[in-house]
Amino acid sequence: MRATSFLRPATVKPIIAVVGGSSCNAAEAQQAEELGRRLAEAGAVVICGGLTGVMESVAKGVRQGGGLAIGILPGADRREANDYIDVALATGMGEMRNALIVRAAGAVVAVGGGHGTLSEVALALRIGTPVAGLRDRFVGVVEMPRLDSPAAAADWAIAQANR
């Protein structure tokens, strides 16, 4: 028996990235919050960029669902994380932290979004991380599954991450 075997949990929780803009409209915020809650209730760990907008809304939902929200921050100060982030990882990498977010995830869901979100979607597609949109802004630009509700998005993401 290896000395570290007792530290490994019996099952590893799926890690789901929710990506989206640092500003969002009310509908996107509501969708992200519900998605975060549903993912937490399903036992997933949620990873995001840790700042405002969609990132804050999803982390708020994760908190409501009793889950764990990890923020991969672009700056070097973990205090920049929104109030709902449980684990703030300050990278000092700027937008390059987007690669860490999608590489760490078993699946990615894009909500709304701008150029940064588009880069995360493109990186996920490039490296083979399953990615889908929920009210994303890239219809007609990026081919990926489109999910019609936070419930469908949570189910899809959990299934993809557990493959």
Number of folded domains in the chain?
A: 1
- Residue 2, in any domain of the structure: no
Mean pLDDT of the region 149-159: 98
Of the pLDDT bands very low, low, confident and very high (cuts 50, 70, 90), residue 141 is: very high
5 located within any domain: no
Looking at residue 1, its pLDDT comes to 46
Q: Is the pLDDT of residue 108 over 90?
A: yes
The model's pTM is: 0.94
163 within domain boundaries: no
Q: For residue 50, give its domain range.
A: 14-137+146-157
Tell me, yes or no, whether 3 lies in a domain.
Answer: no
Average pLDDT over residues 44-52: 98
The CATH number for 64's domain is 3.40.50.450
Question: Among residues of the chain, what percentage have pLDDT more than 90?
Answer: 93
Instruction: Summarize pLDDT for 77-102 with one digit per residue, the tens.
Output: 999 999 999 999 999 999 999 999 99
Question: Is 43 part of a structural domain of the chain?
Answer: yes
Is 81 domain-assigned? yes
Query: Has residue 72 been placed in a domain?
Result: yes
- Mean residue pLDDT of the chain comes to 95
- Asked if residue 70 is part of any domain, the answer here is yes
**pLDDT for 51-60, tens place per residue?**
999 999 999 9
Gap between the Cα atoms of 150 and 163, Å rounded: 20
User: Which pLDDT score, from 0 to 100, does residue 7 have?
Assistant: 64
Distant-in-sequence contacts of 90-96, Cβ < 8 A, 24+ apart:
95/119
